[in-house]
Amino acid sequence: MNLIPQVLRNFFGVRSSDPTSASPSDAASGGMGQSTEQGRRPTPENQTRALYSALTIDYTLRATINDIRTMDRADGRVKRIHARVARDVTRGGLVMLQSDPDSKVAKEWGAFVKRLQLDNSAKLRSDARGLLMEGNLPLQWVIDADLKSVVACVRMPTETMRANVGVHGRFDDVRAAYSQMDLNTGMDLCSFPLWQLTMARLDPDNFDDMMSMGRPFIDASREVWRKLRMTDTDLVIRRKHRSPLRLSHILENATEEELGRYQAGIELNKDLITTDFYSNKKGAVTAVQGDASLGDVQDVLYLLDTFFAGTALPKGMMGYTDGMARDILEDLKRDYFDEVDQLQDILSWVYNQGFRLHLLLRGINPDAESYALTFKERRTETLSQTTDRALKLKAVGLPQSMVWEELGYNPASVEERRTADAANYDPYPDATQAAKVKITPGNAPKGDSATSVSNP
């Protein structure tokens, strides 16, 4: 019974007398605790909506997520968009870039990946699809009984989560940062401290407002998708009813009884192939053509273009290549690759938060270690294009470790394997020298390498 008054006091910035509530010192330590920020929401409508969201989940976001899920089940194009983007984002898997192969952080990372199944492509694709379809990725970190390590990460349903924030949009108590609600009863099932649940948001309206949730990948295309589906259905119905060839039977001076007998005789065998008509009165059988404008589908093409304009995935990459120039498609692909890189950064940040928590539980300060989590293939390119870019970076003088990072490999692992191969497989380990790389601009056809590699 005291839940709603407590929520209202927290929302309007009134501190509770409960000794278990967070103190201002939590903000200094955690950075997300009770804030000293002042001020209200910009408009009365926004204030009312924020107050409503502080009491329950965002049903508008829930309706949007349900629409996206319906679109994904009903339309192969939408399913293909989510599957294609999720595959490109997680392509190559998650890796850690580090200069020291013998570091204890590298060993902890290997065990962390196996326990959380981050080496399983199905797990990574599931998280990526959740981020795309729900616009948010809430991951719950499961700790073992000894509080020594993170043993699992569970993706929570976004439509049941609520951020417990005040009027300033920051968490009132980091020990109850998020709550999960039962959609049937409206009661809180459980609450999560900030360290236990990490919420990644895709394009929120206000990043600094923790109540502002992310938006699904194609949420702005929902209305266009409905019109496209309606137009597709109407086009099929129109073709079915207006395209068949019809015959007009004209019998001059025929009585109603005679016309009825004639019609019954003709329609008796209408399912068979009829080639001849017979009549003892003056008449004619005239063919009536179907709709002559059935081939006009410009309205469908317009809606299709509008639908794909609301996504980062070019229409040409989905098989619709009519009238699209190759150069335009290349520009659209580069823009799509940039979108994939951004999604990879969001996913990497989420997993990095869990790994930081694991290192802290193991007694390791993550800020004192030099490492980075990323996906192996940063851009969806061919192997030739990726290798050519790495060779160009080597030619301009970048360190070899950065070149390996550009290729998506951990430099520490590469050097470790190189040393092991030289000791076990290479009969002449001292004779190996690095190849000379030179860039020859303007010397290659379109799409091929313009890099010259020569042995010493």
pLDDT digits (tens), the chain, 456 positions: 444 445 445 444 444 444 333 433 343 334 444 444 555 556 666 666 666 666 777 788 889 999 999 999 998 889 989 999 999 899 888 888 876 666 788 889 989 999 999 999 999 999 999 999 999 999 999 999 888 899 999 999 999 999 988 777 788 889 999 999 888 887 888 999 999 999 999 999 888 888 889 999 988 888 888 888 888 887 777 776 666 667 777 777 788 888 888 878 777 766 666 556 666 667 777 766 666 555 566 777 778 878 877 777 777 777 776 666 777 777 778 888 888 888 999 999 999 999 999 999 999 999 888 888 888 776 655 667 777 777 887 887 777 777 777 776 767 677 777 777 766 666 555 555 556 666 665 555 555 556 666 655
Q: Quick one: 201 and 117 in the same domain? A: yes
- Host domain of residue 147: 3-222
Q: Is the pTM of this model over 0.85?
A: no
Q: Quick one: 57 and 137 in the same domain? A: yes
Report the C-alpha gap between 149 and 144 in whole angstroms. 6
Count of H helices and E strands in the chain?
14, 12
Chosen domain end from 318, 346, 361: 318
**Is 447 within a domain?**
yes
Chosen domain end from 318, 336, 355: 318
Q: What is the pLDDT of residue 422?
A: 67
Q: Quick one: 283 and 258 in the same domain? A: yes
Chosen domain end from 302, 318, 334: 318
452 strand-pairing partners: 438
Q: Hey, what's the torsion of the CAs at 39, 40, 41, 42, to 10 degrees?
A: -70
Q: Quick one: 148 and 16 in the same domain? A: yes
Q: Quick one: 119 and 268 in the same domain? A: no
**Is 255 within a domain?**
yes
**Is 209 within a domain?**
yes
Q: How far is CA 168 from the centre of its chain?
A: 29
Helix (H) or strand (E) holding 343: helix 326-361
The b/e string for 309-323 (b: 16+ C-beta within 10 A; e otherwise) is: eebbbbbbbeeeeee
Cβ pair 123, 117 in contact under 8 A? yes
Q: Quick one: 66 and 99 in the same domain? A: yes
Q: Quick one: 131 and 21 in the same domain? A: yes
308-314 long-range contacts, CB within 8 A, separation 24+: 310/218, 310/220, 310/221, 310/224, 311/81, 311/217, 311/218, 311/221, 312/85, 312/217, 312/336, 312/339, 313/81, 313/84, 313/85
**Placement of tokens 């020291």 in the chain:** 100
Q: Quick one: 216 and 242 in the same domain? A: no
**Is 229 within a domain?**
no
Q: Quick one: 207 and 245 in the same domain? A: no
Q: Quick one: 268 and 401 in the same domain? A: no
Cβ pair 373, 351 in contact under 8 A? yes
**Is 192 within a domain?**
yes
Q: Quick one: 298 and 157 in the same domain? A: no
**Is 371 within a domain?**
no
**Is 359 within a domain?**
no
Split into its structural domains, the chain has a count of 3
Q: Quick one: 10 and 101 in the same domain? A: yes
**Is 227 within a domain?**
no
